[in-house]
């Protein structure tokens, strides 16, 4: 269980980006954090993955404060895919996939490549394994970035605006793919794309001005007004 309790964060310039944020994300769900640009959702994401340390409050993973967890164990438990994807441009898809398993999990090159290939095949993109990021489409790059995170087998995977680079058809396909994977990894999706969230998310929260304005079913809280 991922649990956020009384979380607040203020940037050095004095802007309070988060105000008493509180919610839980049960396992094996797709949970959506929705809100317009500037609502605080990306700041919240950065706190959950420890890129920012909140002023007040607590983030727990299975009852343990994440800031007291062993760093390696934490990074294996929670993964993140940012909107910009951050694939290494000088590495092939396969090399992007195997870097973390070899460096973080200390797996052999052969073992890492076998697991990477299995993941790529499952996503239907094994044909691009020797391509560079500049040679593949936005939808393919999105899958590669998520596959790279999934190969570490995180319990929770956070996705920042995952549909921003996708067309309508690819977005629908991507949603079906996430639904197939939620039994293995719990997804937390940060998005302003309410129709997409309503199709796939079990539940979520709606943020505005650094606060949670509504929580529950995405179909209900995503409605205007």
Domain coordinates of the chain in residue numbers?
2-87+153-221
The two tokens of residue 92 are 């092939």
DSSP lists the bridge partners of residue 79 as: 157
- Cβ burial 83-101 (10 Å sphere, 16+ → b, else e): bebebeeeebbbbbbbbbb
Distance separating alpha carbons of residues 157 and 78, to the nearest angstrom: 6
Q: What is the mean pLDDT of residues 180-206?
A: 88
What are the φ and ψ backbone dihedral angles of 203, each rounded to 5 degrees? -160, 180
Distance separating alpha carbons of residues 74 and 140, to the nearest angstrom: 28
Strands, E assignment, the chain:
2-10, 16-25, 30-34, 56-61, 64-65, 78-81, 156-160, 186-191, 203-208, 211-216
What's the pTM?
0.84
User: 109-165 pLDDT, tens per residue?
Assistant: 999 999 999 888 877 789 999 999 999 987 788 888 888 888 888 899 999 988 776
Q: What is the mean pLDDT of residues 99-106?
A: 86
- Indicate the fold that domain 2-87+153-221 takes in CATH: Rossmann fold (3.40.50)
Residue among 52, 55, 1, 6 at smallest CA distance from 26: 1
- What is the pLDDT at residue 119? 86
Confidence band, pLDDT 50/70/90 cuts, at residue 225:
very low
Distance separating alpha carbons of residues 32 and 218, to the nearest angstrom: 8
**What sign results for the dihedral spanned by CA atoms 123, 141, 114, 102?**
negative
User: 34-53 pLDDT, tens per residue?
Assistant: 998 889 998 999 999 999 99
């Amino acid at each position: 269980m991922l649990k956020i309790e009384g979380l607040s964060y203020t940037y050095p310039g004095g802007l309070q980006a988060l105000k008493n944020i509180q919610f839980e994300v049960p396992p094996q769900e797709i949970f959506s954090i929705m809100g317009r640009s500037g609502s605080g959702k990306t700041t919240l994401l950065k706190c959950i993955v420890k890129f920012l340390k909140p002023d007040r409050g607590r983030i727990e993973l299975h009852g343990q404060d994440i800031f007291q967890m062993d760093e390696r164990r934490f990074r294996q438990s929670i993964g993140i895919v940012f909107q910009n994807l951050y694939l290494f441009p000088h590495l092939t898809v396969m090399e992007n996939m195997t870097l973390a398993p070899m460096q973080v999990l200390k797996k052999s090159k052969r073992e890492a490549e076998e697991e990477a290939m299995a993941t790529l095949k499952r996503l239907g993109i094994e044909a691009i394994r020797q391509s560079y990021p500049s040679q593949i489409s936005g939808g393919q790059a999105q899958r590669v970035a998520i596959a790279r995170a999934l190969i570490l087998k995180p319990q929770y995977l956070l996705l920042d605006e995952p549909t921003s680079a996708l067309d309508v058809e690819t977005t629908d396909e991507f949603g079906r793919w996430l639904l197939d994977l939620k039994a293995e990894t719990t997804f937390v999706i940060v998005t302003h794309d309410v129709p997409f969230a309503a199709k796939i998310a079990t539940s979520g929260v709606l943020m505005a001005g650094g606060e949670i304005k509504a929580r529950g079913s995405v179909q209900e809280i995503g409605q205007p007004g």
